Chain A
Amino acid sequence: MAAAALLRRIPAARAPPTALMAARTISDSTAPLTIETSVPFTSHIVDPPSRDVTTTPAELLTFFRDMSLMRRMEIAADSLYKAKLIRGFCHLYDGQEAVAVGMEAAITRSDSIITAYRDHCIYLARGGDLVSAFAELMGRQAGCSRGKGGSMHFYKKDANFYGGHGIVGAQVPLGCGLAFAQKYRKEETATFALYGDGAANQGQLFEALNISALWKLPSILVCENNHYGMGTAEWRAAKSPAYYKRGDYVPGLKVDGMDVLAVKQACKFAKEHAVANGPIVLEMDTYRYHGHSMSDPGSTYRTRDEISGVRQERDPIERVRKLILAHDLATPAELKDTEKEIRKEVDDAIAKAKVSVAFSVLFLVSL
């Protein structure tokens, strides 16, 4: 029904009829397509962007592929953890893929991203590879932090991804510092500092926002509101869970974080705003299917109905699948093939990662 509703609202621009009749492969067309976001943006002291988002068939298919890859990676990590190949902390991102993918589509690798500990998919979005991700999770030499960091400390400096932080809220002032450097160097780039609804109440956020506003730093604070800070529901932790308004004198936008196109539009808008005017807050309304971490079943503080409800109604990958099918950009079989390829890619990466060994103790004190 969602697909039908979308079809009704979409204006004239769609794939030309000739494409439908020719012997078709998956569309890699870059012909522009305009699609409406699921809901309009809600804003705080700023005019929101339009809910009409420009995309292309190629981009939509990339969205499908990238999000499916992230989903598969996280599910595989769950199995590896249960097989005791991953130990310690492991915080999975499945459900939130649209935020990582939509953001990446709106920016360049010269913009910076910093996040907390739920960082595997951001690493991937910034160009990280599966083998080094799995190897890091398993503490091997081939890991992106050579086994020294673990799940919470993935980095990719050459793509301006600054981690991977375990202390709740710390990444936000750090992100404003990245923005400081960007402004100092007159780079016309921005920093996206991601944090959760739990971290949104941290005092250091407000300290960093205050300084960012005073100094007009290109900081974009992105609250990935998955509605639970560990096991505490947002309404029990925040007197005001309208996180996009919490910047007070700083403008904010509330975004459907399960709609990759809405995320892309919001991030594009935010970057332009931040470079010109200083900080802005984005609240991504999103959801995580897993518990807070692998030690949390995730069902003691929320109902299974709620979780399955979100999966049915709002899953980000399913939304894009429906869009692709509705616009005839691929057949269901082609998308299934893509998913099969992804499964194989992930399995191969795990096999390669398993072959890499852990460092000997000689490397304990050296890099």
Chain B
Amino acid sequence: MMCSIQITKGLLDKYGPDRVLDTPITEAGFTGIAVGAAYQGLRPVVEFMTFNFSMQAIDHIINSAAKSNYMSAGQISVPIVFRGPNGAAAGVGAQHSQCYAAWYAHVPGLKVLAPYSAEDARGLLKSAIRDPDPVVFLENELLYGESFPISAEVLDSSFSLPIGKAKIEREGKDITITAYSKMVGYALQAAEILSKEGISAEVINLRSIRPLDRAAINASVRKTNRLVTLEEGFPQHGVGSEICMSVVEESFEYLDAPVERIAGADVPMPYAANLERMAVPQVDDIVRAAKRACYRAAPMAATA
């Protein structure tokens, strides 16, 4: 791979050149080829250097992969995985920083996963590859460098995680915070800060954006009565909007406060470090939103 990240390091030696292939920088072409191979029953794993480049191939992901099983009334199945880093990195600018979770999760026929921890990455990728349908697997470049403790069970070769199930990363009783990918770590930090101020936050690691674990989210909100949705991507039509609607549909009477939405700023990602920091959610944004939902906010004028 031409990738500086080297997720596939060692695979060529282990599995050989028939199974691990470098491609030219032609996303539409190689993605179409991979989907065609999946039509024939192979199980390709397509790597996009980042999901920003998946836009060049998005017709194949959606029209050739996602919709084929339905259009063919089940004749054609497409057991393919599209994986790669998603969302903002550091200082890479507007064209290299977008989060695609909301875009892909919009489409029937796709499954969309977003691992946070090493356990998530291992367990979810195995399930994604085994799944008979197309799966979009949204990793995160900054998380590649983070270490996570894992159990022997996770290291076992048969370990896998089910698609469509969220994980309660931290139990709490006063407020629910939903997050995915890198934002799970931020939410956990925020929960730590909130606990010192007497607010017990429950952090849900979504793991699966489509299908969304609506049962887990609603069960949590029915327990805590307050919700903050957290994501790095643009706010309009984002993942948080869908979560909010799910809660309104199923648990409206349980809400004691309006749902708070934390998302990236509604601008293309700027380059300057201080602007970039302002364009993505930070831990204190999450803390502030949680307090607002708990009616513990400082007066409006002091939110600067």
A residues near B (Cβ < 8 Å) are 112, 114, 145-149, 153, 155-157, 162-167, 170, 172-182, 184, 203-204, 206-208, 210-211, 214-215, 367
Q: Are A174 and B71 in contact (CB under 8 A)?
A: no
Partner pick for B32 among A172, A181, A367, CB 8 A cutoff = A172
B134 to chain A minimum Cβ distance, whole angstroms, is 13
How far is B59's CA from A17's CA once the two chains are assembled, in angstroms?
Answer: 60
Q: Secondary structure of the B side of the interface?
A: helix
Known: A178-B39, A184-B18. Is A167-B73 also a contact (CB below 8 A)? no
How far is B57's CA from A174's CA once the two chains are assembled, in angstroms?
Answer: 12
Q: Are A145 and B71 in contact (CB under 8 A)?
A: yes
15 further A-B pairs in the complex, CB-CB below 8 A; given A177-B36, A180-B33: A148-B71, A148-B72, A149-B71, A164-B72, A170-B64, A172-B32, A173-B35, A174-B33, A176-B36, A177-B38, A177-B39, A181-B36, A207-B32, A210-B26, A367-B74
Q: Secondary structure of the A side of the interface?
A: helix
Q: Are A177 and B35 in contact (CB under 8 A)?
A: yes
C-beta contact mask, B8-26 vs A, less than 8 Å → 1, else 0? 0000000000100101101
Categorize the interface residue count of chain B.
20 to 34
A62 to chain B minimum Cβ distance, whole angstroms, is 27
A232 to chain B minimum Cβ distance, whole angstroms, is 21
A255 to chain B minimum Cβ distance, whole angstroms, is 24
**CB neighbours of B30 from chain A (8 A):** 173, 207, 211
The chain B residue with its CB closest to the CB of A156 is: B75
Partner pick for A204 among B23, B29, B38, B76, CB 8 A cutoff = B29
B residues near A (Cβ < 8 Å) are 18, 21, 23-24, 26, 28-42, 59-60, 63-64, 68-76
How far is B21's CA from A156's CA once the two chains are assembled, in angstroms?
Answer: 30
Q: Are A208 and B32 in contact (CB under 8 A)?
A: yes
B200 to chain A minimum Cβ distance, whole angstroms, is 39
**CB neighbours of B31 from chain A (8 A):** 173
**CB neighbours of B38 from chain A (8 A):** 177
Partner pick for B60 among A112, A145, A170, A214, CB 8 A cutoff = A170
Q: Are A176 and B32 in contact (CB under 8 A)?
A: yes
Q: Are B72 and A145 in contact (CB under 8 A)?
A: yes
Partner pick for B29 among A114, A149, A163, A208, CB 8 A cutoff = A208
How far is B40's CA from A162's CA once the two chains are assembled, in angstroms?
Answer: 9
Q: Are A155 and B75 in contact (CB under 8 A)?
A: yes
